[in-house]
Structures are given as C-alpha cells and as structure tokens.
Amino acid sequence: MEPSFASPGVSRYARGPMALQKVTQVAGTAVCVPGMDIDTDRIIPARFMKCVTFDGLGEFAFYDVRKNADGTDKPHPLNDPRFAGANILLAGANFGCGSSREHAPQALYRFGFRAVVAESFAEIFFGNCTTLGIPCVVATAQDIHMLAAEVERNPKLEVTVDLGAERIFFEDQDFPIVLPQSARDALTSGQWDPIAELLEHKDAVDRKIHELGVI
C-alpha cells in the first residue's frame, strides 16, 4: 500500500523531529501526462510561486495546460474524472527540466502524486522529489506506453511501483525500472530528507558542535 507520511514542507518541521516513513513501494492508480521536456514552469507556473508555505500549491499543478483564462477546464488527463485520485504519474523524457524550482515537486505532491515514472528526469527535479519522499523511476518508452494504454483501457488498474524489486507490477504483468542506488537506499531506509534527519538527531549534532569547539 502507499506509504502514509507527513506532508513535506515547513509544517512538518514545525511539529518537531520525527522519524521518516520508509518508502519501499507506492501502490494506487496511474495517469499519463504525455510529452517530452515537460518543464517546471508547466508543472507550476511562476505566478503561483509567491507563497510563504507550499500549502495549497496542488490546485495550481499544470494550471496553464489544465485551465482556460476564465478558470474553466481544458481537455486534459488531470481533468478527466476517470483518473481522479491517481497517485502515480506517467510521463516522457526529460521530465522536470527547466528552472530548479522546488515548488514543482511540492505542487505534484499536494496534487496527490506519490511516484513519477518517466523515460528520464532533470537532475535537480529528481533530487527535489527524492527529498520529499517521491520516487522518480525510469522505464523505457515502450514499457511506459504499454502501461499508459492499459491505464487508458482501465483507469482503476492497480499499479505498484516496487523499489525493492525494482519493477512495476499491474495485473499479471510487470517490467523493470531504474532508480539510482543512492536514492533507492535513502527512500527505502527512511532517510530521504536531510533536514528531517538533522532534526531527528539534533542532540548528536549539538554534541559534535561542542566537541569541535564551534560554539
């Protein structure tokens, strides 16, 4: 089942140190947003980045390709009621390219996505997703297209992104995925957020600071 961990961002740290949930697999339904080179400005337009916290960014994810000027819906997979509640995003190559805005993965998280499957990822976007506990896994174009076709046929298809097995499972089929060992280890061990890690071990950090005579 999908891991249940606190929403990332300022609000999590405001409650004090806490152990991070291990992300070993993400299960749920999927939706495909086709296209190559989907950049961070398309994921979250810059005008929605004037916020103190990341709360509420989800409603603006992919806003300009989902909405008309008057706020009504355009034809788009994320507006299709068949895919409502999907938590696994399927995409093409070089997903998350462009400016290195942390708001992009934050918007995806708050829209409800807990894993992204693509042919490749922009490096900074990949890192920002990992520190939110969102696995970004790579699969071949052929496998993604095949899964997208199955999802189109059955929008309620149960899909599991298994980081331990390094495969995606659905019905009686599966295919391999690629995730850098460092990211896989961080996610599956619950050590995906460096700031939360420091807060969790604040006493040890304070002791080391005093040992080194920094303060």
What does the pLDDT read at residue 10?
Answer: 34
- What stretches in the chain show pLDDT beneath 50? 1-18
H/E run at residue 168: strand 167-170
Residue type, 68: N
DSSP state of 136: E
Angstrom CA distances, 54 to 8, 47, 58, 87, 194, stand at: 9, 14, 9, 19, 18
Residues 154-211 pLDDT 10s:
999 999 999 999 999 999 999 999 999 999 999 999 886 656 555 565 666 657 666 7
pLDDT at residue 191 in the model: 82
Is 94 in contact with 120 (CB distance < 8 Å)? yes
Q: Which amino acid is at 210?
A: H
* Residues 148, 91 contacting (CB under 8 angstroms): no
